[in-house]
Amino acid sequence: MSDIMSDVLGLVDIPLEEFGVLGKDEYVSEVVNRPSVGYWKDAWRRLRKNKLAMIGLCIIIIYTIMAIIGPWMTSFSYRTNYLMETNIRPNAQHWFGTDVLGRDLWARVWVGARISLFIGLVAALVQTFLGILIGGVAGYFGGNLDLVIMRIVDILSGIPFLIFVILIMMVIGSGLFPIIITFAITGWLGMARLVRGQVLQLKEQDFMTAAKAMGASSSRLILKHLIPNMSGVIIVTLTMRIPQAIFTEAFLSYIGLGVKPPMTSWGQLANAGGQVMQVHPYQLLIPAFFISTMMLALQLFGDGLRDALDPKLRK
Protein backbone atom coordinates (compact mmCIF):
# COMPACT_ATOMS: atom_id res chain seq x y z
CA MET A 1 0.00 0.00 0.00
CA SER A 2 2.61 2.50 1.02
CA ASP A 3 4.78 1.44 -1.91
CA ILE A 4 2.04 2.17 -4.33
CA MET A 5 1.42 5.51 -2.67
CA SER A 6 5.01 6.61 -2.87
CA ASP A 7 5.27 5.40 -6.47
CA VAL A 8 2.30 7.42 -7.44
CA LEU A 9 3.49 10.51 -5.66
CA GLY A 10 7.00 10.12 -7.03
CA LEU A 11 8.46 10.49 -3.55
CA VAL A 12 10.56 7.34 -3.70
CA ASP A 13 13.96 8.87 -3.93
CA ILE A 14 13.62 12.03 -1.89
CA PRO A 15 15.49 11.79 1.37
CA LEU A 16 13.89 13.24 4.45
CA GLU A 17 16.54 15.97 4.85
CA GLU A 18 15.37 17.65 1.69
CA PHE A 19 12.18 18.68 3.41
CA GLY A 20 12.33 21.92 5.32
CA VAL A 21 10.52 25.11 6.22
CA LEU A 22 11.00 27.56 3.39
CA GLY A 23 10.21 30.53 5.54
CA LYS A 24 7.01 31.92 6.89
CA ASP A 25 5.96 35.49 6.46
CA GLU A 26 3.31 36.48 8.96
CA TYR A 27 2.40 39.50 6.87
CA VAL A 28 1.94 37.60 3.61
CA SER A 29 -0.20 34.92 5.15
CA GLU A 30 -2.52 37.52 6.63
CA VAL A 31 -2.98 39.45 3.40
CA VAL A 32 -6.52 39.26 2.09
CA ASN A 33 -6.23 38.25 -1.52
CA ARG A 34 -9.66 39.29 -2.66
CA PRO A 35 -11.45 42.48 -1.75
CA SER A 36 -13.69 41.91 1.25
CA VAL A 37 -17.38 41.76 0.46
CA GLY A 38 -19.66 43.83 2.64
CA TYR A 39 -23.39 43.52 3.11
CA TRP A 40 -24.31 45.86 0.27
CA LYS A 41 -21.82 44.48 -2.19
CA ASP A 42 -22.90 40.96 -1.38
CA ALA A 43 -26.52 41.90 -1.92
CA TRP A 44 -25.72 43.65 -5.20
CA ARG A 45 -23.85 40.59 -6.41
CA ARG A 46 -26.82 38.38 -5.67
CA LEU A 47 -29.22 40.87 -7.22
CA ARG A 48 -27.14 41.05 -10.40
CA LYS A 49 -27.44 37.30 -10.86
CA ASN A 50 -31.22 37.54 -10.71
CA LYS A 51 -32.18 38.03 -14.35
CA LEU A 52 -35.81 38.97 -13.76
CA ALA A 53 -34.84 41.62 -11.22
CA MET A 54 -32.30 43.09 -13.63
CA ILE A 55 -34.89 43.25 -16.41
CA GLY A 56 -37.15 45.03 -13.93
CA LEU A 57 -34.39 47.46 -13.02
CA CYS A 58 -33.70 48.20 -16.70
CA ILE A 59 -37.37 48.98 -17.36
CA ILE A 60 -37.49 51.22 -14.30
CA ILE A 61 -34.39 53.11 -15.41
CA ILE A 62 -35.61 53.48 -19.01
CA TYR A 63 -39.02 54.78 -17.92
CA THR A 64 -37.42 57.15 -15.44
CA ILE A 65 -35.09 58.59 -18.09
CA MET A 66 -37.99 58.84 -20.54
CA ALA A 67 -40.09 60.60 -17.90
CA ILE A 68 -37.33 63.21 -17.67
CA ILE A 69 -36.50 63.69 -21.36
CA GLY A 70 -39.61 62.25 -23.09
CA PRO A 71 -41.75 65.42 -23.13
CA TRP A 72 -38.87 67.35 -24.72
CA MET A 73 -38.38 64.86 -27.54
CA THR A 74 -41.47 66.09 -29.31
CA SER A 75 -42.31 69.65 -30.24
CA PHE A 76 -45.88 69.26 -28.95
CA SER A 77 -46.78 70.30 -25.44
CA TYR A 78 -48.78 68.01 -23.18
CA ARG A 79 -51.32 70.78 -22.51
CA THR A 80 -51.83 72.43 -25.88
CA ASN A 81 -55.02 71.42 -27.68
CA TYR A 82 -54.59 70.95 -31.42
CA LEU A 83 -58.28 71.07 -32.07
CA MET A 84 -57.95 70.29 -35.76
CA GLU A 85 -56.12 67.09 -34.93
CA THR A 86 -58.21 65.29 -32.33
CA ASN A 87 -58.12 61.50 -31.97
CA ILE A 88 -55.34 60.97 -34.48
CA ARG A 89 -53.88 57.49 -34.51
CA PRO A 90 -50.18 57.10 -33.76
CA ASN A 91 -48.19 58.40 -36.75
CA ALA A 92 -44.85 59.97 -37.61
CA GLN A 93 -45.87 63.32 -36.20
CA HIS A 94 -47.74 62.32 -33.08
CA TRP A 95 -45.90 59.16 -32.05
CA PHE A 96 -48.65 57.97 -29.72
CA GLY A 97 -51.43 59.88 -31.48
CA THR A 98 -53.60 62.57 -29.92
CA ASP A 99 -56.45 62.42 -27.43
CA VAL A 100 -60.05 63.62 -27.55
CA LEU A 101 -58.96 67.23 -27.03
CA GLY A 102 -56.16 67.01 -29.58
CA ARG A 103 -53.31 66.83 -27.09
CA ASP A 104 -50.20 64.91 -28.03
CA LEU A 105 -50.24 61.56 -26.25
CA TRP A 106 -46.48 60.99 -26.34
CA ALA A 107 -45.97 64.16 -24.31
CA ARG A 108 -48.88 63.30 -22.04
CA VAL A 109 -47.68 59.77 -21.40
CA TRP A 110 -44.26 60.97 -20.25
CA VAL A 111 -45.57 63.93 -18.26
CA GLY A 112 -47.96 61.43 -16.68
CA ALA A 113 -44.98 59.19 -15.96
CA ARG A 114 -43.32 62.08 -14.12
CA ILE A 115 -46.36 62.51 -11.90
CA SER A 116 -46.94 58.80 -11.29
CA LEU A 117 -43.29 58.09 -10.51
CA PHE A 118 -42.94 61.22 -8.40
CA ILE A 119 -45.99 60.30 -6.35
CA GLY A 120 -44.81 56.71 -6.00
CA LEU A 121 -41.34 57.69 -4.84
CA VAL A 122 -42.20 60.63 -2.59
CA ALA A 123 -45.20 58.93 -1.00
CA ALA A 124 -43.14 55.83 -0.27
CA LEU A 125 -40.31 57.92 1.20
CA VAL A 126 -42.59 60.00 3.41
CA GLN A 127 -44.44 56.92 4.64
CA THR A 128 -41.18 55.20 5.40
CA PHE A 129 -39.80 58.21 7.24
CA LEU A 130 -42.92 58.57 9.39
CA GLY A 131 -43.06 54.83 9.98
CA ILE A 132 -39.44 54.68 11.13
CA LEU A 133 -39.93 57.70 13.38
CA ILE A 134 -43.13 56.54 15.06
CA GLY A 135 -42.37 52.81 15.08
CA GLY A 136 -38.84 53.51 16.27
CA VAL A 137 -40.01 55.70 19.15
CA ALA A 138 -42.60 53.10 20.18
CA GLY A 139 -40.17 50.21 20.03
CA TYR A 140 -37.17 51.98 21.53
CA PHE A 141 -38.79 53.70 24.48
CA GLY A 142 -41.45 51.06 25.09
CA GLY A 143 -43.75 51.29 28.09
CA ASN A 144 -46.97 53.27 28.04
CA LEU A 145 -45.92 55.30 25.02
CA ASP A 146 -45.53 52.09 23.05
CA LEU A 147 -48.90 50.86 24.28
CA VAL A 148 -50.71 54.04 23.25
CA ILE A 149 -49.03 54.25 19.83
CA MET A 150 -49.66 50.63 19.02
CA ARG A 151 -53.33 50.86 20.05
CA ILE A 152 -53.71 53.84 17.73
CA VAL A 153 -52.03 51.88 14.95
CA ASP A 154 -54.28 48.88 15.63
CA ILE A 155 -57.41 50.98 15.43
CA LEU A 156 -56.42 53.06 12.41
CA SER A 157 -55.25 50.06 10.44
CA GLY A 158 -58.71 48.55 10.94
CA ILE A 159 -60.04 51.23 8.61
CA PRO A 160 -59.68 50.10 5.00
CA PHE A 161 -56.82 52.00 3.36
CA LEU A 162 -58.63 53.14 0.23
CA ILE A 163 -61.69 54.35 2.11
CA PHE A 164 -59.43 56.31 4.43
CA VAL A 165 -57.64 57.84 1.45
CA ILE A 166 -60.88 58.72 -0.31
CA LEU A 167 -62.28 60.40 2.83
CA ILE A 168 -59.23 62.57 3.36
CA MET A 169 -59.00 63.47 -0.31
CA MET A 170 -62.63 64.60 -0.22
CA VAL A 171 -61.72 67.16 2.42
CA ILE A 172 -58.30 68.44 1.38
CA GLY A 173 -59.10 68.31 -2.30
CA SER A 174 -57.44 66.56 -5.19
CA GLY A 175 -54.08 67.34 -6.76
CA LEU A 176 -50.48 66.38 -6.50
CA PHE A 177 -49.70 67.53 -2.97
CA PRO A 178 -53.00 66.52 -1.40
CA ILE A 179 -52.34 63.02 -2.75
CA ILE A 180 -48.89 62.88 -1.18
CA ILE A 181 -50.15 64.27 2.14
CA THR A 182 -53.00 61.76 2.14
CA PHE A 183 -50.70 58.85 1.42
CA ALA A 184 -48.41 60.04 4.20
CA ILE A 185 -51.25 60.23 6.72
CA THR A 186 -52.65 56.83 5.83
CA GLY A 187 -49.60 54.82 4.85
CA TRP A 188 -47.24 54.91 7.80
CA LEU A 189 -49.11 52.31 9.85
CA GLY A 190 -47.65 49.17 8.33
CA MET A 191 -44.13 50.58 8.34
CA ALA A 192 -44.44 51.66 11.98
CA ARG A 193 -45.48 48.16 12.98
CA LEU A 194 -42.61 46.61 11.07
CA VAL A 195 -39.99 48.99 12.48
CA ARG A 196 -41.27 48.56 16.03
CA GLY A 197 -41.01 44.80 15.72
CA GLN A 198 -37.48 45.07 14.38
CA VAL A 199 -36.42 47.49 17.11
CA LEU A 200 -37.81 45.24 19.84
CA GLN A 201 -35.88 42.34 18.37
CA LEU A 202 -32.59 44.21 17.92
CA LYS A 203 -32.77 46.00 21.25
CA GLU A 204 -32.09 42.79 23.15
CA GLN A 205 -29.11 41.73 21.07
CA ASP A 206 -25.56 41.66 22.37
CA PHE A 207 -24.13 44.40 20.19
CA MET A 208 -26.72 46.80 21.56
CA THR A 209 -25.89 45.88 25.15
CA ALA A 210 -22.19 46.26 24.36
CA ALA A 211 -22.69 49.66 22.77
CA LYS A 212 -24.79 50.77 25.71
CA ALA A 213 -22.21 49.48 28.19
CA MET A 214 -19.54 51.52 26.43
CA GLY A 215 -21.63 54.60 27.02
CA ALA A 216 -23.18 55.23 23.64
CA SER A 217 -25.89 57.87 23.71
CA SER A 218 -29.46 57.16 22.61
CA SER A 219 -29.00 59.03 19.37
CA ARG A 220 -25.83 57.12 18.59
CA LEU A 221 -27.49 53.81 19.40
CA ILE A 222 -30.38 54.62 17.09
CA LEU A 223 -28.45 56.17 14.22
CA LYS A 224 -25.35 53.99 14.23
CA HIS A 225 -26.66 50.65 15.39
CA LEU A 226 -30.42 50.26 15.05
CA ILE A 227 -31.08 51.88 11.70
CA PRO A 228 -28.19 50.29 9.78
CA ASN A 229 -29.29 46.89 11.04
CA MET A 230 -32.84 47.45 9.88
CA SER A 231 -31.93 49.01 6.54
CA GLY A 232 -32.37 45.83 4.49
CA VAL A 233 -35.91 45.20 5.65
CA ILE A 234 -36.78 48.88 5.37
CA ILE A 235 -35.50 49.21 1.81
CA VAL A 236 -37.39 46.11 0.74
CA THR A 237 -40.61 47.46 2.21
CA LEU A 238 -39.93 50.84 0.64
CA THR A 239 -39.58 49.28 -2.81
CA MET A 240 -42.84 47.43 -2.34
CA ARG A 241 -44.55 50.68 -1.35
CA ILE A 242 -43.71 52.46 -4.60
CA PRO A 243 -45.92 50.30 -6.85
CA GLN A 244 -48.63 50.43 -4.22
CA ALA A 245 -48.60 54.23 -4.24
CA ILE A 246 -48.61 54.38 -8.04
CA PHE A 247 -51.44 51.89 -8.08
CA THR A 248 -53.46 53.86 -5.52
CA GLU A 249 -52.91 57.09 -7.43
CA ALA A 250 -54.07 55.41 -10.64
CA PHE A 251 -57.11 54.11 -8.81
CA LEU A 252 -57.90 57.57 -7.40
CA SER A 253 -57.48 59.16 -10.82
CA TYR A 254 -59.80 56.55 -12.19
CA ILE A 255 -62.60 57.48 -9.79
CA GLY A 256 -61.98 61.18 -10.31
CA LEU A 257 -59.85 62.12 -7.30
CA GLY A 258 -56.45 62.31 -8.93
CA VAL A 259 -54.39 65.21 -10.24
CA LYS A 260 -56.31 67.99 -11.98
CA PRO A 261 -56.26 68.37 -15.76
CA PRO A 262 -54.47 69.49 -17.87
CA MET A 263 -51.89 67.88 -15.59
CA THR A 264 -52.09 64.15 -16.01
CA SER A 265 -50.94 60.81 -14.69
CA TRP A 266 -50.94 57.28 -16.01
CA GLY A 267 -54.12 56.43 -14.13
CA GLN A 268 -55.90 59.43 -15.54
CA LEU A 269 -54.74 58.66 -19.08
CA ALA A 270 -56.07 55.13 -18.71
CA ASN A 271 -59.36 56.50 -17.42
CA ALA A 272 -59.67 58.98 -20.30
CA GLY A 273 -58.70 56.26 -22.77
CA GLY A 274 -61.20 53.83 -21.27
CA GLN A 275 -64.04 56.20 -22.06
CA VAL A 276 -63.32 56.22 -25.79
CA MET A 277 -61.87 52.74 -26.06
CA GLN A 278 -64.49 51.40 -28.44
CA VAL A 279 -63.60 53.99 -31.07
CA HIS A 280 -59.97 54.77 -30.28
CA PRO A 281 -58.52 51.76 -28.48
CA TYR A 282 -54.91 53.01 -28.65
CA GLN A 283 -55.78 55.74 -26.14
CA LEU A 284 -56.39 53.04 -23.54
CA LEU A 285 -53.83 50.50 -24.70
CA ILE A 286 -50.84 52.85 -24.56
CA PRO A 287 -51.20 54.03 -20.94
CA ALA A 288 -52.35 50.53 -19.93
CA PHE A 289 -49.15 49.11 -21.38
CA PHE A 290 -46.97 51.56 -19.48
CA ILE A 291 -48.73 51.18 -16.13
CA SER A 292 -48.69 47.40 -16.36
CA THR A 293 -45.08 47.06 -17.43
CA MET A 294 -43.95 49.54 -14.79
CA MET A 295 -45.84 47.68 -12.08
CA LEU A 296 -44.40 44.42 -13.35
CA ALA A 297 -40.88 45.86 -13.35
CA LEU A 298 -41.23 47.24 -9.81
CA GLN A 299 -42.66 43.94 -8.63
CA LEU A 300 -39.85 41.89 -10.14
CA PHE A 301 -37.20 44.27 -8.86
CA GLY A 302 -38.77 44.34 -5.40
CA ASP A 303 -38.88 40.55 -5.26
CA GLY A 304 -35.25 40.34 -6.32
CA LEU A 305 -34.24 42.97 -3.82
CA ARG A 306 -36.01 41.11 -1.04
CA ASP A 307 -34.22 37.89 -1.91
CA ALA A 308 -30.91 39.76 -2.01
CA LEU A 309 -31.27 41.89 1.10
CA ASP A 310 -33.28 39.88 3.56
CA PRO A 311 -31.07 37.21 5.08
CA LYS A 312 -34.00 35.57 6.80
CA LEU A 313 -35.59 34.64 3.52
CA ARG A 314 -32.31 33.36 2.12
CA LYS A 315 -32.33 29.60 2.00
Partner 1 sequence: MGKYIVKRFFISVVTILVLITIVFVLVRLLPGDPFSDPLVPDEIRLRMLSYYGLDRPVLEQYGLYMKNLMQGDLGYSLRFKGRTVNRIIADSFPYSLDLGLRALFTAAFAGLFLGITSALNKDKKWDGLTMLIAIVGVSVPSFIMASLLQYFLSFKLGLFPVAQYRSFMHTILPTFALSLGTLAVLARLMRTSMLDVVGMDYIKNAKAKGLSQFQITWKHQIRNAILPIVTILGMTVASLLTGTFVIENIFAIPGMGKHYVMGIQNLDYPMISGLTIVYGTFLVFSQFLVDILYGFIDPRIRVDKKN
Q: Could you say whether residue 247 binds partner 1 (CB under 8 A)?
A: yes
CB of 286 to partner 1, least distance (A): 12
CB of 161 to partner 1, least distance (A): 8
Identify which range of 18-26, 93-101, 115-123, 273-281 contacts partner 1 by CB under 8 A.
273-281
CB of 250 to partner 1, least distance (A): 6
Q: Measured from the CB atom, is 162 or 210 closer to partner 1?
A: 162
Q: Measured from the CB atom, is 193 or 225 closer to partner 1?
A: 193
Q: Measured from the CB atom, is 158 or 215 closer to partner 1?
A: 158
Q: Tell which one of 43, 300, 305, 309 touches partner 1 (CB under 8 A).
A: 300
Among positions 139-198, residues that touch partner 1 (CB under 8 A) are: 151, 154-156, 158-163, 166-168, 170-171
The DSSP secondary structure of 198-221, one letter per residue, reads: HHHHHHTSHHHHHHHHTT--HHHI
Q: Could you say whether residue 202 binds partner 1 (CB under 8 A)?
A: no
Q: Could you say whether residue 281 binds partner 1 (CB under 8 A)?
A: yes
Q: Measured from the CB atom, is 132 or 236 closer to partner 1?
A: 236
Q: Could you say whether residue 62 binds partner 1 (CB under 8 A)?
A: no
Q: Measured from the CB atom, is 209 or 292 closer to partner 1?
A: 292
CA distances from 278 to 57, 291, 299 (A): 34, 20, 30
CB of 162 to partner 1, least distance (A): 4
Q: Tell which one of 255, 260, 311, 314 touches partner 1 (CB under 8 A).
A: 255
Alpha carbons 285 and 272: distance in angstroms, whole number: 11
Q: Could you say whether residue 201 binds partner 1 (CB under 8 A)?
A: no
Q: Measured from the CB atom, is 143 or 160 closer to partner 1?
A: 160
How far is CA 183 from its chain centroid?
16
Q: Measured from the CB atom, is 270 or 305 closer to partner 1?
A: 270
Q: Could you say whether residue 254 binds partner 1 (CB under 8 A)?
A: yes
Among residues 114, 100, 34, 124, the alpha carbon closest in space to that of 71 is found at 114
Q: Tell which one of 124, 126, 132, 270 touches partner 1 (CB under 8 A).
A: 270
Identify which range of 65-73, 110-118, 137-145, 244-252 contacts partner 1 by CB under 8 A.
244-252
CB of 56 to partner 1, least distance (A): 10
Alpha carbons 281 and 287: distance in angstroms, whole number: 11
The DSSP secondary structure of the chain, one letter per residue, reads: -HHHHHHHHT-TT--GGG-------HHHHH--SS----HHHHHHHHHHH-HHHHHHHHHHHHHHHHHHHHHHHSSS-SS---GGGTTPPS-SSSTT-B-TT--BHHHHHHHHHHHHHHHHHHHHHHHHHHHHHHHHHHHHH-HHHHHHHHHHHHHHTTS-HHHHHHHHHHHH-SSHHHHHHHHHHHHHHHHHHHHHHHHHHHHTSHHHHHHHHTT--HHHIIIIIIHHHHHHHHHHHHHHHHHHHHHHHHHHHHTT-SPPTTS--HHHHHHHHHHTTTT-THHHHHHHHHHHHHHHHHHHHHHHHHHHH-GGG--
**Positions in the binding site for partner 1 (CB under 8 A):** 151, 154-156, 158-163, 166-168, 170-171, 243, 247, 250-251, 254-257, 267, 270-271, 273-274, 277-278, 281, 284-285, 288, 291-292, 295-296, 299-300
